[in-house]
Amino acid sequence: MQPLITGSGLWKPSCSISNDELVHSYNAWVTQNLNLFGDKPPFSNSEFIEKASGIKNRYVIEKAGILDPSRMRPVLECRPDEQISIQAEMAVEAAKDALCAANKLPTQIDAVIVSSSYTQRAYPAIAIEVQHALGIHGFAFDMQVACSSGTFGLHRAYEMIKAGTAKSVLVISPELTSPQVNFTDRDSHFIFGDVATAMIVECPEAITSPLHTFEIISVRAATQFSNNIRSNFGYTARASDTDPFAPEALFHQNGRKVFKEVCPMAADHLESHVKANGMEPSDIKRWWLHQANLNMNQLITRRLLGADADQQTAPIILDQFANTASAGSLVAFNLYHQDMQPGDLGMICSFGAGYSIGSLLLQKR
């Protein structure tokens, strides 16, 4: 009995920020703070951002605060405990789309996993809040593996189905990344965007919709410790008397080392996963890869296929969505799976902080 993906959902905020808007705000902040930089203020431009990353735009939960040179972070309301949290609200909207695609009622779901790079609070779990909001029975939990949270969450759903502990599992990645971005850092202020994705993983006898169903042939994961991508924000700042919002507590990375080390790691992982199933990379019709950096994806697919991949072979959604952390490969899947034909093979893969890599080999039913 192989688990299947039977529905997917995507929610994006109504607000978006172009590179030009972001650069205008950032450069205004630099001008206001020239005393911090000496003789070489780190001004930026849209051409630099696009060349470095392939990003042209990003969706954000709130726009005005990010573009305010006197603030440089989103303005989010502090909701009372009785009101649904922002992240759960994002998750619910994506989940509704996935339920609709799978022709599923909330009461037909056995478990909810919220797997994202950040959660808005420690507890109660965002997943349990989503479970309550949707009227789902069973159980729910949160999990975090940075940019591989989405694929690792799907792995857990796969294992539940294989073990028989659940028949239908809802996996959601509500990536509320913008509060953790340092919008005053030239090298990283443009990277992330906010989004939510959802997928339903089921056993064959639970399927209620035959459309766009994908069998999960196999899953594979790998982790290797690295300090090159970090976010140190945490509750122990109160006890260590450190600033919980200092630059080192927000997202930061050594981009050159990440590029040099993760690209071969991801390519080797993917090639090994494909060949372990008696296939070659050329047999894979579609590669839904993590969306962190255009140059990384191009290098990885070139190494796998021996040539540049087109938009249909390895879809790029960075230009519109930016890096959406663990949701990136799932956004790509959501937007580029409807044309797949029975028997077609595809690979979902994430890679990021940890280092962590997760992949799922799929076949269209």
The span from the CA of 74 to the CA of 77, in Å, is: 10
What average pLDDT does range 135-142 have in this prediction? Answer: 97
In the predicted model, is pLDDT for residue 1 greater than 80?
Answer: no
Asked if the bond preceding 124 is cis, omega within 30° of 0, the reply is yes
In the predicted model, is pLDDT for residue 197 greater than 80?
Answer: yes
Pairing outcome for strands 111-115 and 168-175: parallel
Give the chain's mean pLDDT. Answer: 97
The span from the CA of 152 to the CA of 116, in Å, is: 10
The full DSSP string for 92-147 is HHHHHHHHHHTT--GGG--EEEEE-S--S-SSS-HHHHHHHHHT--SEEEEE-BTB
CATH of 214-364, one of 3.40.1280.10, 3.40.47.10, 3.90.480.20, 3.30.70.2190: 3.40.47.10
Question: What percentage of the chain has pLDDT greater than the value 70?
Answer: 100
Long-range contacts of 78-84 (CB under 8 A, 24+ apart): 84/129, 84/133
Q: Which residues are catalytic?
A: 147
In the predicted model, is pLDDT for residue 11 greater than 90?
Answer: yes
Q: pLDDT (tens digit, 9 = 90+) per residue, 312-362?
A: 999 999 999 999 999 999 999 999 999 999 999 999 999 999 999 999 999
Could you tell me the two tokens for 261? 């080390």
Count of beta carbons in the 10 Å neighbourhood of residue 166 = 22
The span from the CA of 201 to the CA of 169, in Å, is: 5
The answer to whether the pTM exceeds 0.85 is: yes
Sequence spans of domains, the chain: 214-364
Longest CA span, the chain:
67
What is the pLDDT at residue 268? 97
